[in-house]
Amino acid sequence: MWDHLAYGFSIASKPINLLYCFLGCFYGTFVGVLPGFGPAAAIALLLPITFGMPPESAIIMLAGIYYGAMYGGSTTSILVNIPGEAASVVTCFDGYQMAKQGKAGSALGIAAIGSFIAGTLAVFGLLIVAPWLANFALQFGPPEFFSLMVLGLTIVVYISFGSVLKAVIMGCLGVALGCIGWDYVAGNTRITFGIEYLYDGIPAVPVVMGLFGISEVLLNLEKRQKLEVFKEVKNIWPSLKDFRESILPILRGSGIGFFLGLLPGGGTITSTFASYSVEKKISKNPEKFGKGAIEGVASPESANNAAAQSGFIPLLTLGIPISPAFALVFAALLIHGITPGPLLLSKAPNVFWGVVISMYIGNIILLILNLPLIKMWTKVLEIPYGLLFPLILIFCLVGALSDNKVGDVLVMLIFGVIGYLMRKFDYEPAPMVIAFILTPILELNLRQSLILSGGSFGIFFTKPISLGCLISVGLLFLLSILPKFKIIRPKLGME
Amino acid sequence: MASSMMKLKKDQISSIFLLFVAGVILISSAEASLGSFREPGAGLVPFLAALLLGIFSLANLILSSLRQAGEKEKPIFAFSEMNWKNLIMTLGALFAFPLLLSVLGFNLTVFGFMLFLAKAVEPRRWVIAVLFALSTTIVCYLLFVYWLKFVLEKGIFGI
């Protein structure tokens, strides 16, 4: 392990990778601070820029954006009572109350310190779990991968917010969209309507840019609200009492975040609700929660950062993205000719170890960015949206033109409108995006399995790992339809 | 109560649209060979996905119709509460961007797009709007064309 650590440091500490790590963390924090612009859109926006970079630098920067956004999200929750991104919703409950009581500095400080501790612990967890999981996954063949992806999609649907039925509908639509274009096994095209542009399939990056970038701008333009920002941020370093009250919630939040982050389905969001619920349940003074309890900031902020980093484990070792943002990192790896999965460790160790160690460096960068420089981030909230939204749009438009295909821009705009309408009609885009990106690999593994078994579906039930995954799918299905268990699911998002 | 009332009509409209989408995908994927479950053809997976999409959309339609029971609901687009002019103008500018790109070229299109948004959508003084559009165009050129070597349209003016 020490050899791997040293190797990872040799990659991550290259000046160019340090620069990209810093840029990713800086941009991620900026995006996290801005309400109405999430990490998926932020990654999609900069993805075209990474095409010319070495793969490890590209993934180091994209990873930095993701966990940087988790750090930055707390600032807006605490100072404005609006979450900078979805994983910071819970921080509003007590963070904003603390700000109202003149303790904005303590709240911001404990959020940053908790995030740092959680991020650091998650990197160590990743160092231990990822190689073990990758080794274990070497036993996987096409049937295991197929069943695992079906399980991943089922969890995404199960955990997504709102109606399960609508999430299933979105998953099915994502599978259908993912099939568009050439079928390289059969050698013919499908669902292209004779349009030559669609022969290569719908490109993933413009789809995500549209669904998460353009649609967010359209929603924000429709209804602008003036932000009331707390400008009095004093005593950023938490007192010893604050720290004593927060250390156990930080550790518990880190553990919950780390393990929930491994599950497909937006681990960062779920983990914040779960950790908040746990703290409230075990607290001697549960009535303090919602009225400015520092534990209510420390635990969820630690959880979302731990989950943001442990989410890289299923992505890098199994090739399963757990959220749209990870789906984009998955797409970025494919664009750089690297297939995420158990062979990544042996085939691209520079990417794996470089990215893992860069996360530790990134955590230090983020601590510096979020504590001494917190006043700079509060200024970001004062940028008029009238100047900000044209910049987001032009970066989306030009980013979509990276292949100089006007069709990519049209795809992005069409999916931007679709994303806007989906939100109007209460549909979640996440299950669709993950299904869309996973479908080509899912279908390939299905076909390879059937070739191996001579056309028998029994292959999925005779392999123990595959069978275990399918049993889990069945259990989740039962949990979502049985009235007794049905109430468990929404609780995660509603409490 | 109000939010559940809102969802009724929304679900019916969206389900009908998704049923139509499912139908289009079903027909289109059936045109590619379906093969069999043992030997799937090119169209089988999208066909099954579309079939499930159709079944679940129909279920959503039926469930939402059963829930409706003559209740009134708020409109999906509350035009009186939303800034729809900004929305329409921004959408217009977005869809005009790829159309103008081949005619005006990258730099002029970016400049025009930014100027329009800064002046028409959220109005600012001409000086600020022009400076904003100009500086963004220069940054985009330096970043995407000069540094990242994107090959972008030059248009009829060759710039």
Looking at residue A123, its pLDDT comes to 87
Reported as a pLDDT band with limits 50, 70 and 90, residue A93 is confident
> For the whole model, what pTM was predicted?
0.83
What is the C-alpha separation between B58 and B74, in angstroms, rounded?
A: 23
**Structure confidence at residue A486 as a pLDDT band (50, 70, 90):** low
Please give, rounded to a whole number of angstroms, the shortest distance from the CA of B57 to a CA of chain A.
Answer: 7
Rounded to an integer, the average pLDDT of B16-38 is 90
Which residues neighbour A189 within 8 Å (Cβ) at sequence distance 6 or greater?
Answer: A181, A182, A183, A198, A199, B32, B42
How far, in Å, are A16, B116, B138 from residue B132 at the CA level? 31, 11, 10
Residue B26, pLDDT score: 94
**8 Å CB contact of A447 and B37:** no
Per the structure, the complete domain to which residue A96 belongs is given by 2-494
Would you tell me which residues 448-487 of chain A have a C-beta closer than 8 angstroms to some C-beta of chain B?
450, 454-457
Eight-state DSSP code of residue B123: -
Which chain A residue's Cα is nearest to B22?
Answer: A173
d(CA B1, CA A325): 34
- Complex confidence, ipTM: 0.89
Q: Give Cα separations from A132 to A338, B71, B78 (angstroms).
A: 20, 56, 54
Query: Is the per-residue pLDDT at A263 higher than 60?
Result: yes
* CA dihedral of A344, A31, A366, A493, whole degrees rounded to 10: -80
C-alpha closest to that of B140 among A163, A395, A253, A442: A395
Contact between chains at B49 and A175 (C-beta distance less than 8 A): yes
Nearest chain A residue to B4 by CA distance is: A426
At residue A100, the pLDDT reads 83
Task: Summarize pLDDT for A14-29 with one digit per residue, the tens.
Answer: 999 999 999 999 999 9
Residue B2 has pLDDT above 50, yes or no: no
**pLDDT (tens digit per residue) in B138-148:** 998 888 888 77
DSSP B40: B
State chain A's mean pLDDT as an integer: 84
Neighbouring-strand partners of residue B72:
none
Q: What is the dihedral of CA B112, B118, B119, B122, to 10 degrees?
A: 140
CB B155 within 8 A of CB B105: yes
Specify burial of residue B33 (Cβ count, 10 A radius: 0-12, 13-18, 19+).
middle
Render pLDDT for A180-215 as a digit per residue (tens, 0 to 9).
998 877 788 898 888 889 998 898 888 988 888 888
Helix H or strand E segment including A22: helix A15-33
Q: Is the pLDDT higher at A159 or at B57?
A: B57
Largest CA distance in chain A: 70
Check whether A171 has a pLDDT greater than 80.
yes
Residue with tokens 């049923």: B19
- Residues in chain A closer than 8 A to B30 (CB atoms): none
pLDDT of residue B24 exceeding 90, the answer is: yes
Instruction: Tell me how many domains chain A contains.
Output: 1
A489 versus A351: which is more confidently predicted?
A351
Tally of CB atoms within 10 A around B119: 17
What percent of chain A has a predicted confidence (pLDDT) above 70?
93
